Chains A and B, each alone.
Chain A
Amino acid sequence: MGIQEQYRSEAAGLLSSGAVKLVIGFGEGSTVERRRPVFVRTPAETERLVLDGGCVANLSTYLLTEGLLSDGKSVAVFLKPDGIRSINILAAEAQLNPEQVVIFGFDIEEGQVRALEGRKASDFAPVIGVAKAAGLSAELQKEAELLDQISAAERFEYWKDQFSKCIKCYACRQVCPMCYCRRCIVDVNQPQWVNTSSHTLGNFEWNIVRAFHLAGRCVACGGCDRSCPVNIPLRLINHRMAKEVLDAFDYYAGECAEQKPVLATFRQDDPETFIL
């Protein structure tokens, strides 16, 4: 039995026993290659669940849908290691109770799906440990380094060009499990910190603010990068932030539910090379 069939039948079992009220997984999309989030509430519907190399989205975003977990019932969700890290962060930030989340863990290697052992977020600590040991994406690091090597003025021009494309559709924010604020800073107008208009300055400010708010929280699921309709390489900024917290504070986001948010804690001997 393949992992897809195995998870389908386990999902059906959880639903029929009432252990979970909902399964959030992947289903067929509008084209052969596309996969889309599906919401399964009955055992029969589990036939719609698909699990293959195209299932890359981080579905943990949906767990914070208003009211979904407030009845104390459990929800099952298909997650890759990045998504499981998101659950840990959301738990650490008191946004959900990890006991209410049943995880169908999987990973994709060279297009092939592999099942991950465990059902609770805490079961996956070894998997996340392996991910941390493997380090941040070497591919992204290479891309980001290219930018680090050019002068600040050239970098500014690069990002100006990229951010000038932004239309403030906020797909990056909406798709992100970490962007759960009921009222985003850009929607606050008393005082208005950043320009809400989508001119290049406003776009610059918005993207800086979002990147900062994700520092030490982003799990590099790539959701924002994929969903950006104007193809801004958001992955690079987020990677640069992840690298900064790793290098400076040995912090890897989402290791466990007890991990304190990186910017809500400190050590007395934190590095401060830049302070005069």
Chain B
Amino acid sequence: MSEPFEPKIVAFVCTYCTYAGADLAGTSRMKYASNVRIVRLPCTGRISPMFILKALQKGADAVLVSGCHPGDCHFAQGNYHARRRWTVFRALLSFTGIPEQRIRFSWISAAEGAKFTELINNLTEDIRKLGPFEQYHELQTVIETQATY
């Protein structure tokens, strides 16, 4: 384990705002941590809690969900619905012991390339300090090994 820990972060973003924001960061030659894997979706309203569970199942150390600011949704209401959903889902995950620091939410518009860059860099640093999500990864390791009985 001499390799330094590099967090795996999955970002589920809406195509109209946050993805465009990330794009802007790129075209503006802003640098952000390469630890993030972006999954582009039509709207935050389309981001099912299943996605988060799947990301954790597949070994993510943190998950970011990001979309348009309230009032800016391309589909008018998608992010309002998403906001309610995440309020509840976040409480649930926290109650079952999945730390809030690992599941993040943000509003990033198409003009906020700088905010995106900063957020990703900060998040990566936070998770780097927090370390890998061993507790969850361990569940996956256990099922890949033979039962002891």
Q: What band does the interface of chain A fall in when counting residues whose beta carbon is under 8 Å from B?
A: 35 or more
Task: Please tell me if the beta carbons of B83 and A272 are within 8 angstroms of each other in the complex.
Answer: yes
**Contact among B85, B86, B96 with A155 in the assembled complex (CB-CB below 8 Å):** B96
How many A-B pairs have beta carbons closer than 8 Å: the answer is 127
Task: Please tell me if the beta carbons of B53 and A152 are within 8 angstroms of each other in the complex.
Answer: no
Residues of A contacting B41 with CB < 8 Å? none
Task: Please tell me if the beta carbons of B84 and A270 are within 8 angstroms of each other in the complex.
Answer: yes
Q: Quick one: which of A156, A207, A265 has the most chain B CB within 10 A?
A: A156
Chain A, residue nearest B66 (CB): A276
Task: Please tell me if the beta carbons of B87 and A248 are within 8 angstroms of each other in the complex.
Answer: yes
Q: What band does the interface of chain B fall in when counting residues whose beta carbon is under 8 Å from A?
A: 35 or more
Q: Is A2 part of the binding interface, using a Cβ–Cβ cutoff of 8 Å?
A: no
29 sample A-B contacts, Cβ–Cβ < 8 Å, listed by A number? A152-B98, A156-B98, A159-B96, A160-B135, A185-B50, A193-B53, A195-B143, A197-B143, A200-B139, A205-B53, A205-B57, A208-B53, A208-B96, A212-B49, A212-B89, A216-B88, A237-B95, A240-B91, A244-B87, A244-B91, A263-B85, A266-B80, A266-B81, A268-B70, A270-B84, A272-B83, A274-B105, A275-B105, A276-B105
Give A residues with C-beta under 8 Å from B.
Answer: 144, 147-148, 152-160, 185, 193-195, 197, 199-202, 204-205, 207-209, 211-212, 215-216, 237, 240-241, 244-245, 248-249, 262-268, 270-272, 274-276
